[in-house]
């Protein structure tokens, strides 16, 4: 995991443009001058921009033909190289976003382009370019005391911790598409994923975090979806294999595919089946699965939440299975009632 620290970050340049939806006959309004922000307001603005970002899921600019053909990548590179062309380049970004805003469900909003400095990234001080789009404004009340009593009015604005769409491009690894963090809190439907796919054209970075996350996903899908189609596996068997998978990633610093398959699945037929499934998963999902990589403890911790180790029995019992499946037996009484027998040494 790559750490970063925004606590001393400065906003050297800020400019705001309004980006409508051309499909809905909404306008693009481009500013000619930088946005004026008071010193008191700037602290709140930076919190609004930066607080949603977490040190995981880094991405990079990409393009199916050649990286240099990614237009946002090229404009951001120009911003880093030419500080005096910041306004012109920000207008180019707004125009490009407007051109990509073609789905009728995409909301208009304010696009803030920000040049950020004094960021601590992996122990180094770096600059970054931030793109922040605000779409969901909401009403809020203002209560102001006058000479003899209060006046109550309302206004509209943006929730401080609720930026709708954003990305931060750190000025590192330029030749590899930079290191990018992205947020998209609206438009979860596939037909509206224009921010990441159409506008930014981002793909996961080739790093330990993403390698770990991707392989945990393929292992989980194999155990829960593919394996039951080929083998007579019980729920306890599946839970045991999921636990073995997590144990491998928790107890090893590095991953080696053949070692993982032998250690977790043990049965040679399952090992070969996993190899076939992993190749088909890679092709269908468009994921670049690596055979060897350093394991990210942060990715393991996050993905562990989706590994279900609970055996639910009707509406009466839930059994959490974390260890040796030999300590639990399944059976059927002569009268047809099903049961599980559990062995243990100490009651806690």
- Round the average pLDDT of the chain to a whole number and report it: 86
Predicted confidence (pLDDT) at residue 192 exceeds the cutoff of 60: no
pLDDT digits (tens, 9 = 90+) for 273-288: 999 999 888 888 777 7
Predicted confidence (pLDDT) at residue 312 exceeds the cutoff of 90: no
Q: Is 35 exposed, middle or buried (0-12, 13-18, 19+ CB in 10 A)?
A: middle
Give 158-171 as a DSSP string: --TT--SEEEEEES
If you average pLDDT over residues 137-155, what whole number do you get?
Answer: 83
The percentage of the chain sitting over the pLDDT mark of 90, rounded to a whole number, equals 49
* Bigger pLDDT: 119 vs 208: 119
Q: Structure tokens of 311? A: 């055996």
Q: Is the dihedral of CA 299, 301, 306, 309 positive or negative?
A: positive
Instruction: Please give the pLDDT value at position 128.
Output: 97
Instruction: Please give the pLDDT value at position 322.
Output: 60
pLDDT digits (tens, 9 = 90+) for 205-231: 878 888 898 899 899 889 888 888 888
Instruction: Please give the pLDDT value at position 190.
Output: 47
DSSP 35: P
**pTM attached to this predicted model:** 0.72
* Bigger pLDDT: 6 vs 158: 6
How far, CA to CA in Å, does 176 sit from each of 206, 234, 299?
10, 45, 22
* Bigger pLDDT: 247 vs 137: 247
pLDDT digits (tens, 9 = 90+) for 151-176: 888 887 777 777 889 999 999 999 99
Distance CA 197, CA 152 (A): 44
How far, CA to CA in Å, does 230 sit from each of 215, 223, 235, 270?
21, 11, 14, 9
* Bigger pLDDT: 31 vs 238: 31
pLDDT digits (tens, 9 = 90+) for 233-255: 777 778 888 888 988 999 999 99
Q: Structure tokens of 177? A: 């598409």
Instruction: Give domain limits for the chain.
Output: 4-205, 209-342
pLDDT digits (tens, 9 = 90+) for 37-88: 999 999 999 999 999 898 777 899 999 999 999 999 999 999 999 989 999 9
Instruction: Please give the pLDDT value at position 206.
Output: 79
Bridge partners of 318?
A: 312
Distance CA 344, CA 268 (A): 31
CB 220 within 8 A of CB 306: yes
If you average pLDDT over residues 320-348, what whole number do you get?
Answer: 69
Of 38-52, 92-106, 219-233, 256-270, which range is least confident?
219-233
Instruction: Please give the pLDDT value at position 327.
Output: 64
Instruction: Please give the pLDDT value at position 201.
Output: 95
Ranges of H-type helices in 188-328: 208-221, 227-230, 235-251, 257-265, 268-285, 297-303
pLDDT-based confidence at residue 328 (cuts at 50, 70, 90)? low
Instruction: Please give the pLDDT value at position 191.
Output: 44
């Amino acid at each position: 995991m790559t750490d970063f620290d925004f606590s001393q970050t400065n906003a050297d340049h800020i400019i705001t443009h309004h980006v409508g939806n051309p499909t809905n006959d909404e306008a693009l309004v481009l500013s000619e001058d930088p946005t004026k922000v008071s010193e008191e307001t700037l602290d709140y603005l930076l919190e609004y921009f930066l607080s949603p970002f977490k040190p995981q899921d880094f991405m990079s600019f990409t393009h199916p033909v050649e990286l240099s053909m990614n237009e946002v990548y090229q404009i951001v590179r120009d911003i880093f190289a030419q500080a005096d062309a910041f306004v012109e380049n920000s207008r180019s970004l707004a125009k490009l976003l407007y051109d990509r805003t073609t789905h009728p469900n995409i909301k208009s909003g304010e696009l803030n382009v920000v040049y950020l400095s004094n960021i601590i990234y992996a122990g180094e001080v770096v600059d970054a370019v931030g793109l922040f789009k605000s779409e969901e404004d909401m009403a809020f009340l203002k209560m102001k005391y006058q000479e003899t009593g209060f006046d109550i009015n309302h206004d509209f604005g943006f929730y401080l911790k609720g930026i709708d769409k954003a990305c931060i491009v750190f000025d590192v690894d330029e030749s590899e598409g930079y290191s990018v963090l992205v947020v998209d809190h609206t438009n979860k439907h596939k037909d509206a994923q224009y921010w990441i796919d159409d506008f930014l054209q981002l793909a996961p970075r080739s790093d330990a975090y993403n390698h770990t996350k991707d392989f945990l996903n393929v292992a989980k899908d194999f155990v829960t979806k593919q394996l039951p189609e080929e083998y007579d596996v019980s729920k306890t068997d599946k839970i045991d294999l999921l636990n073995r998978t997590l144990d491998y990633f928790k107890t090893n610093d590095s991953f080696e595919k053949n070692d993982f398959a032998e250690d977790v699945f043990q049965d040679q037929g399952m090992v070969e089946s996993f190899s076939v499934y992993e190749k088909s998963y890679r092709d269908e999902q468009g994921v670049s699965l690596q055979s060897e990589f350093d394991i990210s403890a942060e990715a393991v911790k996050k993905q562990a939440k989706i590994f279900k180790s609970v055996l639910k029995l009707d509406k009466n019992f839930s059994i959490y299975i974390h260890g040796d499946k030999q300590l639990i037996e399944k059976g059927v009484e002569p009268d047809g009632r099903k049961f599980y027998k559990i062995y243990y040494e100490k009651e806690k």
